[in-house]
Structure 1
């Protein structure tokens, strides 16, 4: 008699619809022998490559990219937001080989201002006031990007901050040529009502056209001040101007909030999957532990035997792993400086095995009736039974010595809070306060249900889905990955990882493959608009509710995420950059 797992695999093999990654136009990925930088914006990729060629290491290049994107990709690249950077160092700052590679997770996530309160977005009847946490001055958290990038440079970089920032200052001073796609971003109605945004990005209504040069002289001066004295952003004149501007608009950030901001150099999370070592993000990113839980649940399945990449058979099993891991995310995760979280229990292979036993081999498990395996986790905080922005960006870097950086940073929404800092500062400000739990049990803009562990408190960092990750095989770096996409970030990273490691797609095919997502609540399987119909229909027949993103909106591309990936062949050492072709102004730059 077949074992239960064998029986399930036999039944699942009945789903056989194949689906390999396809793109509208063929794209030849970049390869190199020494180093690689992959970002969503070609000038930013060139900035990172320039710094590498000047003798900088992967962290120097990542810092150069971070500041360059603040100039060239203002919808998400930023000085006024925050994020995370996972670094793996094989050499010290002088280029001397370390005894063993060292991994660090730099948390430069935004913080809630001191004046923030748990009910600050509720009306007198304790209902959430629509838009208050997403648009305008009260949505702005204390930014961490400048602290994070300058900390990374000082602690792990090889060059000077001025050298790393030189490309960004040059791009802001001289400008850069806009593509048609980039001009459309700048024409958004979202920022028309903010005077500074409308002036800087939209020329007061005289919109930039494709091929025109976009220069930002005020931002160039701000960047130059940071390059000369990075402390000025948090303790000097920039801090004074920023606090005064936010408070004048009714926001909460003070000079003391800025002065008190600190980067957290945290220990990454580690896991294993099919012979690979996973290095990933700890809280306040929910991404790493949820990714590890997904992979632990999938660890005993031979996915290729069930069907091809994106076949209904594979999608069913992967989706059920998504559903279970996201259930735990909603109940337990928050800022580690404010909460004790059962991370060890969540990452326990025995817990994954118990979850695995609850997966039906053919049919979906309704989220409403999903029961967590008993005896592993403490009771979750009580959450009422009420059934994150795409505008983030990720970049990946590896240098000639094998040092690597995987960084995801964000303004949260498209152009953040829709506010650009005045007083001569000229950078967009985040609306990261929406990533907190405004009211327990009520979904945020990404329809994520979040628990008390992520409630608003002074100085607290909101929970995030950002998941910068690295894959190691026999002590050799194999992959650097991550993505934007709000609540879909974790599943996008999982999609990419599985496509390469299990299904042997190339790094470019993985970046371009159509994506699918399930986050426990709402109980539906989301797929991109261009997802082939055949596997979708198969899954519908088994009981899934399927939502095709943007299906009824002709103007919507119906897609999410932006995977900027690097793959290093373990045998040849050849480096391949996978630049996501959902956007056509990015670049994988190597030498």
Structure 2
């Protein structure tokens, strides 16, 4: 059964929900063939690296949260990492200014990729089917091709106009005969990517981080002035780590720990909101949105001040930030009828850094109830737009998530605070928030979203819509969303997410409002234990998204 829209798709034996229908179909087929949730997640991730190149990847990184039906809970951190040659002033010219946008564009913006290592580690620890079988669908999609879609048109036309020879391999990979744009519906094949995937299929993790692929990456970097070497690639390891755990109205919340800021922030906000009767306030009423905004304001201030890579920031006060006692202190500072001001005294300490909204999330539940929530990214849409010669895959530009100018923080969003300054082998801070909600030791909801800094608030609102407002998973995902991130001190609303009357009341409380297009693209599965059914919903904000189950 497949779905899109407000009515969720039911399934009894397994479900995959992703931002591209072919990725969902690949994962569902693995489940139907006896694979478990981790097997399906691995196969889906590799398939999206072929079919959703704007965010699906093998040249980026991300996070996976797992909750087994037996109660086992874990997570895998495969966030990109700074190369060994990286240093805090690597993006600065002689005047201390960022040189040529080099932290976002070009080879210096590329972090050591983590996706293949993370998928390999998750499979080795929790997978069931042979690794080679999980790569085969992606290889076939790359070799035989699939229909190009409208979603790629803007990227392809921009690439067609690119004259820098550094992007020659990208033109070979994405343009017909290296020069013409594929029209929607036209079959697009990726032979170089297929060869890379075959090396990963045959050699596992080492098929990417050692041997030919590693040499191709290192050679490309050396040729174009990048820093990543074969030594960097061979040294990369994913990390299995405990997720952040919180509770909300009798449910358990499991989300990603640092270097993701998502788990800490969502648990902090839920702890604050647990003290309010949100159901009685009414969904997206002015009072409800006011309370949400105040929780967001406080959590994002803490996020900016405290969070970074735990290996470089061992004293992060995570236990305090996620405690009920701290939430009570924060809740008592909220005036029910007047907006707070974002604390200007904290302004020079930290600011939220820009993060691209081009990421992708997918959720998987197998027939036994084992659940995976996985978010991964290239940073910008299509990452750096750099493709390794002969390898066929895009590289990330995640180094832009580090603070580029040490010690300089400005009102325009530049941040120079120590927790997220560039350092060798350091993970950059992230907002990705793959989340699993459980009840009585069993998973009931898998959810996540793209959206840069908005990710945390998107996931928060889907969880609240489900638990407090009784929405089905389709309604919970399609509902209008808001976002506040402490600074700048204003709230973004999706168009039509609030009525004019509620907007006026909300503004009378002292909030500044502006409107935006879609926020995020959530992919979720709800496990109905009473009915014995899975309900999946792919956000209609995703052009090619679909929930597929059987």
TM-score bracket, shorter-length normalisation: over 0.9
Match of 2:362? 395
Q: 1: CA distance between counterparts of 2:513 and 2:387?
A: 38
Match of 1:256? 231
Provide closer, same or farther for how the CA distance between residues 386 and 401 of structure 1 changes in structure 2, counting only shifts above 3 A.
Answer: closer
Provide closer, same or farther for how the CA distance between residues 474 and 548 of structure 1 changes in structure 2, counting only shifts above 3 A.
Answer: same
Matches within 5 A, 1:55-134: 55-90=34-69, 100-129=70-99, 131-134=101-104
Deviates more, 1:508-517 or 1:463-472: 508-517
Q: 2: CA distance between counterparts of 1:452 and 1:334?
A: 9
Q: 1: CA distance between counterparts of 2:495 and 2:537?
A: 21
Contact 1:141 1:433 (8 Å CA) reproduced: yes
Alignment coverage as a number of residue pairs: 540
Q: 2: CA distance between counterparts of 1:456 and 1:443?
A: 15
Q: 1: CA distance between counterparts of 2:25 and 2:278?
A: 38
SS of structure 1 residue aligned to 2:71? strand
Deviation digits for residues 229-266 of structure 1, max 9, x if unmatched? 12121121111111111121111001100010001000
SS of structure 2 residue aligned to 1:101? coil
Matches within 5 A, 1:357-436: 357-369=332-344, 382-383=349-350, 388-422=355-389, 424-436=390-402
Match of 2:31? 52
Q: 1: CA distance between counterparts of 2:76 and 2:549?
A: 25
* Cα shift at 1:383: 4.8
Q: 1: CA distance between counterparts of 2:198 and 2:172?
A: 21
Q: 2: CA distance between counterparts of 1:456 and 1:88?
A: 33
The Cα RMSD (Å) is: 2.3
Matches within 5 A, 1:499-518: 499-518=465-484
Q: 1: CA distance between counterparts of 2:168 and 2:156?
A: 14
Structure 2 spans left out of the alignment, 5+ residues: none
Correspondent of 1:236 among 193, 211, 229: 211
Contact 1:481 1:564 (8 Å CA) reproduced: yes
Provide closer, same or farther for how the CA distance between residues 205 and 312 of structure 1 changes in structure 2, counting only shifts above 3 A.
Answer: farther
Match of 2:274? 299
Q: 2: CA distance between counterparts of 1:158 and 1:570?
A: 24
SS of structure 2 residue aligned to 1:460? coil
Correspondent of 1:355 among 322, 327, 330: 330
Matches within 5 A, 1:84-483: 84-90=63-69, 100-129=70-99, 131-188=101-158, 192-193=162-163, 194-203=167-176, 204-230=178-204, 231-307=206-282, 309-340=283-314, 341-369=316-344, 382-383=349-350, 388-422=355-389, 424-440=390-406, 447=413, 449=415, 451-483=417-449
What TM-score do you get using the length of structure 2 for normalisation? Answer: 0.94
SS of structure 2 residue aligned to 1:419? coil
Q: 2: CA distance between counterparts of 1:291 and 1:119?
A: 32
SS of structure 1 residue aligned to 2:419? helix
* Cα shift at 1:26: 5.7
What TM-score do you get using the length of structure 1 for normalisation? Answer: 0.87
* Cα shift at 1:574: 1.3
SS of structure 2 residue aligned to 1:354? helix
Contact 2:79 2:427 (8 Å CA) reproduced: yes
Contact 2:89 2:406 (8 Å CA) reproduced: no
Q: 2: CA distance between counterparts of 1:102 and 1:190?
A: 48
Structure 1 spans left out of the alignment, 5+ residues: 1-24, 91-99, 372-379, 550-557
Deviation digits for residues 60-114 of structure 1, max 9, x if unmatched? 0000011000000001101100001111224xxxxxxxxx421111001100000
